[in-house]
Structure 1
Amino acid sequence: MDQHARRHGARAAGSHGTVETEHGATADTGARPPERTSRLAALAERVPPTVSLPIIAALAFGCFTIFRTHAAGIKGGQAVLYGLAAAVVTGVLGVLVVHYGQNMVTETRALSYGALFGCSVGWNYSLGGESILKSVGFGLGLGAVMFVTCLYLFRTHRVREPHGEHRERHGEHRERRLPVPTH
């Protein structure tokens, strides 16, 4: 097949594999028949990730709460009610943190993610029958880990931050403050 024709997307007209424009070889326009999408895929296109990801995380946390309370001895409907309540509360708080977190300073945003995660995990840890002091310590520890992780992620992915970079680039402050030598 001719390299030039292959590069520009022409298709062969005959069975011998060469491209002959006088026999009707045409360029591939890229138009494909529309694919059928499922209802779930159509819903995923309409719901932004700032809403869907906190809800998915809340549902996972609710399932973990059901598991934790069931392992602690609470059976049946009561464990499901704990899980449902945990999913609703963390889902609403998660959506609020994501929504309002876009307007926060990086440290405050990381602190809000860490506080939500630490409080949620500490409360869930207490459902297993652990002492209050141990649950608070566990929640504070994991909240601190989440704070450091979020702070690292937010600082290294500055392109996504709505308020831009916090520090000037290394060479820019020198160029503005020092006069150009004239000798």
Structure 2
Amino acid sequence: MPAHSILPHHVHDAPGPVPRGAHLPARRTEAGPVPDRSRAAWAVPACVGAVLFLYTVFLSHDNGFSQAGGWLLGLAVAVIATGIGYVLVRERNAMIPEARALSYGVLAGVTIGFLHSVSGGTWLRSLGIGLACGVLVGLLSYDVFHWNERHEHH
């Protein structure tokens, strides 16, 4: 019996079969990490964009926007947030955990702050809520990314 088989959490470095569900490291080329082109890279931002679209339209119609203005605002929010979210998810292999967490925190904070302003909140209160949400999402994201990176190497 090989000695490495009795050690817990040993990662086999040699080529061979990979268990189903195992997390593989990011593929790298000479140019750097390969962008993520999986289904989640476009499906998650698209779903979040659809929810943001509907929620923005709902908020804008409840707070004095015209019918067309509400739909256009919702479309603009959805397109911008989906585009930025897609880039963040697609390029996540190229970013260190700190940059990823900061990016997700900024996107979440700006989005929540803007939605609060659309709902009729003052700009100062919207700024505070967006900042608080962004810091919270950034810290939680950093913890998740750092924890995953730390445990992938064990």
Same fold per superposition (TM over 0.5) = yes
Aligned length: 118
User: How do 1:88-127 residues align onto structure 2 when only pairs under 5 Å count?
Assistant: 88-127=79-118
Secondary structure at the aligned position of 2:94 is classed as coil
Mapped partners of 1:148, 1:73: distance in 2: 35
1:155 to 115, 122, 146: 146
Secondary structure at the aligned position of 2:91 is classed as helix
Residue 12 of structure 1 is matched in structure 2 by none
Residue 33 of structure 2 is matched in structure 1 by none
More deviation, 126-135/81-90: 126-135
* Residue 52 of structure 2 corresponds to residue 61 of structure 1: yes
Q: Per-residue CA shift, 1:29-74, capped at 9, x if unaligned?
A: xxxxxxxxxxxxxxxxx96111111111111111111111112122
TM-score normalized with structure 2 length = 0.69
Max Rg structure? 1
The code of the aligned residue for 1:107 comes to: E
Tell me how large the CA RMSD over aligned residues is. 2.1
Q: What stretches of structure 2 of length at least 5 have no aligned partner?
A: 1-36
Residue 136 of structure 1 is matched in structure 2 by 127
Mapped partners of 2:38, 2:55: distance in 1: 24
Query: Once superposed, which parts of structure 1, at least 4 consecutive aligned residues long, lie more than 2 Å away?
Result: 155-160
* Residue 69 of structure 2 corresponds to residue 78 of structure 1: yes
Mapped partners of 1:69, 1:134: distance in 2: 18
Q: Per-residue CA shift, 1:118-163, capped at 9, x if unaligned?
A: 0111111111222211111110000011111211221222389xxx
The code of the aligned residue for 1:123 comes to: F
Secondary structure at the aligned position of 1:74 is classed as coil
Instruction: Give the structure with the larger helix fraction.
Output: 2
